[in-house]
Amino acid sequence: MSKLVTIYGGSGFVGRYIARRMAKAGWRVRVAVRRPNEAIFVKPYGVVGQVEPVLCNIRDDASVRAVMSGADAVVNCVGILAEVGKNRFDTVQAEGADRVARIAAEEQIGGLVHVSAIGADAASDSDYARTKAEGEAGVQAHMPGAVILRPSIIFGPEDQFFNRFASMSRLGPVLPVVGAETRFQPVYVDDVAKAAERALTDDVAPGIYELGGPEIATFRELMQRMLQIIHRRRLVLNVPFFAARIMAFGFDMLQAVTFGLFTNGMITRDQVRNLAKDNVVSSDAKGFADLGISPMTMGSVLPDYLWRFRPSGQYDAIKDSAKNLRT
């Protein structure tokens, strides 16, 4: 019988790519999510019955254990960028990761891959970075043989980075960003999925792997590159950190006083803290090379999904060509 992997957060941005790869590798895939009815799209990743979404709440022991039962390996992709409702950084990224690893040890699961993030630091002033580090510590305490993946900012067709700012560029002549000189090392989502697959199917040494693409660029440079691809001219305006903190405080307070009726999808105070720090692979860290993977460049992927933000969408190239026609 083929092996079974349980992927917590398997319908999310990264999780769905891991699910697809594991299905292609011949594994049965159990996609553990809060809303299985919204994850039906994962079923065609394999043959009938090979990929199944199942109900799970990572904040509950019994729920986590139930979907892990009988699995040969586990992947934890659950993470949040902002706190909403009961999903807090501590409960999801620290306690949730610890819970998955503890139960995996109790169930004698053979392999565990945990998706964290570059910048995880127990001493960080950012709750996001601090809880990522606490989650890693819990994983290593319970499952010393686990593989922890720390990607930089991830791009791909469903990303909330390039897609978000490309959409914003349609609203006016100015594109505001916080931390314009902060450096990133964007990594393609399927390369992260490939790293997770290698960790489960190959003889990969346990430990932390920092994953970054072949290019390092500042936030401003990434936005300028994106604007070139979507054929729009915009002024990339740096929002000073003191101004960003004031705006973020206002949005956070509005979410608090409305008891979540307004969700701060703009920018939070914690995100401002993160944007003040570079997000690149450390010089002494293990990475893609140690996994035998050559990461994709941004230029080979971004035009494939950002074209829809061009002034005329799929017809933009045709219109440019038509300008050269002589009557």
Superfamily grouping for domain 4-153+186-212+280-293: NAD(P)-binding Rossmann-like Domain (3.40.50.720)
pLDDT tens track for 4-52: 999 999 999 999 999 999 999 999 999 999 999 999 999 999 999 999 9
Tens digit of pLDDT per residue, the chain (327 long)? 689 999 999 999 999 999 999 999 999 999 999 999 999 999 999 999 999 999 999 999 999 999 999 999 999 999 999 888 888 999 999 999 999 999 999 999 999 999 999 999 999 999 999 999 999 999 999 999 999 999 999 999 999 999 999 999 999 999 999 999 999 999 999 999 999 999 999 989 999 999 999 999 999 999 999 999 999 999 999 999 999 999 999 999 999 898 878 888 889 999 999 999 999 999 999 999 999 999 999 999 999 999 999 998 877 777 777 777 765
Query: Distances in Å between the alpha carbon of 75 and those of 10, 139, 162, 245?
Result: 8, 11, 26, 35
Of 58, 12, 59, 10, which Cα lies nearest the Cα of 30? 10
Locate the domains of the chain by residue range: 4-153+186-212+280-293
* Cβ(73)–Cβ(109) below 8 Å: yes
pLDDT of residue 312: 82
pLDDT tens track for 101-131: 999 999 999 999 999 999 999 999 999 999 9
Residue-wise DSSP of 155-224: ESTT-SSHHHHHHHTTS-SEEEEE-TT-EE--EEHHHHHHHHHHHHHS----EEEEE--S--EEHHHHHH
How many other CB atoms sit within 10 Å of the CB of residue 283? Answer: 5
DSSP state of 93: I
Q: Report residue 248: phi and psi, to 5°.
A: -65, -40
CA separation for the pair 27, 259 (Å, rounded): 42
